[in-house]
C-alpha cells in the first residue's frame, strides 16, 4: 500500500510541533521514526493514527490502521478481565464476534486463564501488561503504529513483541515504529525518518538515516573532541 504524508501540524501560541514533513512509503515497507525527545515523533504518530488532524497538509493511507500507542487503553479496573478483553479488542478494531471467540486463547497466551472472571484491578500491573499485549497480538490490520512506550516489560515480553512484528512484516504489512533503539529500527524498518525540532532532518534507507542521527548525537555529546567546533567555554 502507498502512504503519503505531507505538511505541517499544530499551532499553540505559534509552536509548530511539526513543520513541512513529507514522506512516502511503499507497500510492505516499514518506517522507523527517530530523533531526540520533543522532536515531534509522537505527534506524527498520533496524526497517522487519526487521533489528531494536521493544521496544514494531507495524510493519505491505503489500508487499515491500528495505533498501539499505549497498552491497555480503555482498561477499566472495576470490570472483569473478560469484559476488558472485549472492550480493548473492540478499540483495537477487532469485530465483536471475533473477540468473543478469542477470549480463551488470549487468556492462555497471557497465562491468565484462571482470572477470567476476576476484576481487572486485582491483577498486578505486570499481568495487565501481559493481558494487554496478548489482546493486541490478535490485531489484524494493514498498518501498525507503535510507540516506544511499549518497550516496558520483561525480556520474554519483548521477545514476543519482536516475534509479532516479524510475522507482521512477513505478511507484507507495514509498521511505523517510534523508537530510541537503533538496532530495533534497523531490524524492522526499511526506511527511516529522522525528526529534529519538528522538521525532517533526513528521510531514506534506515542505515543512512540512523548513521546520520548517531553522528549528530556524537557531535552533541562530545564537543571537546571535535576541533572543528568553536568553543568559548
Partner 1 sequence: MVESDRIRKSVDMVAVLTQKDFKLRYRNSVLGFLWALLNPLAYMVILTLVFGLLFRMNIPNYAAWVLTAILIWRFFSIGTTQGLDSITSNQALVTKTDVPRYVIVLSNSAANLVGASLEFIVLFPILIVLGIRLTAYVLLLPGILILEFFLVFAVSLSLSSLAVKYRDFYQLWDIVLQLGFYVSPIFYSENLIPARFRFAYSLNPVTRLIESARGIFLLAPTPSRFDLIVITGIIAAFLLFGFVVFRAREWHFAEEL
Among candidate residues 93, 88, 73, the one with its CA nearest the CA of residue 139: 93
Q: Could you say whether residue 228 binds partner 1 (CB under 8 A)?
A: no
Q: Give Rg (Cα) of the chain.
A: 20
Binding residue for partner 1, selected from 53, 58, 60, 218, defined by CB under 8 A: 53
Can you tell me the distance from the alpha carbon of 73 to that of 87, in angstroms, rounded to the nearest whole number?
9
Closest CB to partner 1 among residues 11, 226:
11
Closest CB to partner 1 among residues 95, 205:
95
Report H helices in the chain: 41-48, 81-91, 96-110, 125-136, 155-170, 182-188, 206-221
Map grid coordinates 509522537 to a residue: 42
Whether the Cβ atoms of residue 194 and residue 202 lie closer than 8 Å to each other: yes
How many residues contact partner 1, by CB under 8 A?
25
Q: Which of residues 62-81 bind partner 1 (CB under 8 A)?
A: 64-65, 67, 69-70, 73-74, 76, 78-79
Closest CB to partner 1 among residues 24, 98:
98
Q: Could you say whether residue 139 binds partner 1 (CB under 8 A)?
A: no
**Which residues of the chain form contacts with partner 1 (CB under 8 A)?**
12, 46, 49-53, 64-65, 67, 69-70, 73-74, 76, 78-79, 83, 86-87, 90-91, 93, 95-96
Amino acid at each position: 500500500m502507498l502512504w503519503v504524508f505531507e505538511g505541517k501540524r499544530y499551532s499553540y501560541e505559534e509552536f509548530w510541533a511539526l513543520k513541512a514533513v513529507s514522506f512516502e512509503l511503499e507497500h510492505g515497507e516499514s518506517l522507523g521514526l527517530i530523533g531526540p525527545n520533543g522532536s515531534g515523533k509522537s505527534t506524527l504518530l498520533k496524526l497517522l493514527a487519526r487521533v489528531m488532524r494536521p493544521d496544514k497538509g494531507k495524510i493519505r493511507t491505503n489500508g487499515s490502521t491500528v495505533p498501539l500507542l499505549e497498552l491497555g487503553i480503555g482498561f477499566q479496573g472495576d470490570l472483569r478481565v473478560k469484559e476488558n478483553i472485549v472492550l480493548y479488542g473492540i478499540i483495537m478494531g477487532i469485530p465483536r464476534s471475533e473477540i468473543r471467540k478469542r477470549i480463551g486463547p488470549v487468556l492462555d497466551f497471557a497465562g491468565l486463564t484462571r482470572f477470567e472472571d476476576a476484576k481487572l484491578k486485582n491483577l498486578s500491573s505486570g499481568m495487565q501488561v501481559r493481558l494487554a499485549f496478548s489482546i493486541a497480538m490478535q490485531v489484524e490490520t494493514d498498518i501498525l503504529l507503535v510507540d516506544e512506550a511499549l518497550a516496558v516489560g520483561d525480556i520474554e515480553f519483548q521477545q514476543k513483541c519482536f516475534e509479532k512484528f516479524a510475522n507482521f512484516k512477513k505478511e507484507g504489512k507495514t509498521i511505523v515504529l517510534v523508537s530510541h533503539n537503533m538496532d530495533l529500527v534497523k531490524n524492522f524498518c526499511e526506511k527511516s525518518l529522522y525528526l529534529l525540532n519538528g522538521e525532517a532532518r533526513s528521510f531514506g534507507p534506515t542505515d543512512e538515516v540512523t548513521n546520520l542521527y548517531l553522528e549528530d548525537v556524537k557531535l552533541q555529546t562530545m564537543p571537546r573532541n571535535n576541533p572543528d567546533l568553536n568553543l568559548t567555554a
